[in-house]
Amino acid sequence: MSLFREAMEALQRHDYDFAARQFNAILSAHPGERALLERVRVYLGLCERALRERPAEPNTLEERLTAATAALNNGDADRAERLAREVLAEDPRHDLALYLLAAIETRRGDYENALSYLGQAIAISPEARAQARHEADFEPLRDLEAFRELTELPPSGSPPGPRRPRRGAR
């Protein structure tokens, strides 16, 4: 039965919307198959519960950034990256989104991109350099000369660069 197989594959992918539609189609198409319908109702209940418990997608920049930070802290770097990139699509100079991408790339071992994102974040918000010096995610970068150059305090008398109001810390 291909409907059941498709529904189960969708359930395993966590595509609860599609799986629920397929399970409902089975309920309609096979009203006399008691054993099958009992299993389908159990799986449909799992889908419905997952859909009810699924957090709403964040709408504002700040909600996306908060969700991205939470996703990264929960080990979901892909979701964190997607949300941070959504923030950057709306505000390409969002220092915290760039900082978050630096942390994501560091965790992935892409130090070159991590340093690039971190450099952009610091250029926008120079006070991020102090936070970066103490950020646990950047531990693998600490011995790199490029990281030290980014996070050193500028010589006194040098202009600190453009400032952007901080919106919170990671």
pLDDT digits over 31-77, tens only?
Answer: 899 999 999 999 999 999 988 887 667 889 899 999 999 989 888 89
CB 168 within 8 A of CB 96: yes
Q: Which two tokens stand for residue 141?
A: 């970068």
Q: Which of 58, 59, 55, 63 is nearest to 167 (CA)?
A: 63
pLDDT at 1 over 80: no
Q: Which of 158, 108, 109, 88 is nearest to 129 (CA)?
A: 158
Residues of the chain with CATH 1.25.40.10: 61-151
pLDDT at 168 over 50: no
- CATH 1.25.40.10, applies to 61-151: yes
Alpha helices in the chain (DSSP H): 2-12, 16-29, 34-53, 61-73, 77-90, 95-108, 111-124, 128-134, 145-151
CB 1 within 8 A of CB 25: no
Cα torsion angle, 95, 99, 104, 108, sign: positive
Q: Which of 150, 121, 146 is nearest to 133 (CA)?
A: 150
Residue carrying structure tokens 């942390």: 103
This prediction has a pTM of 0.62
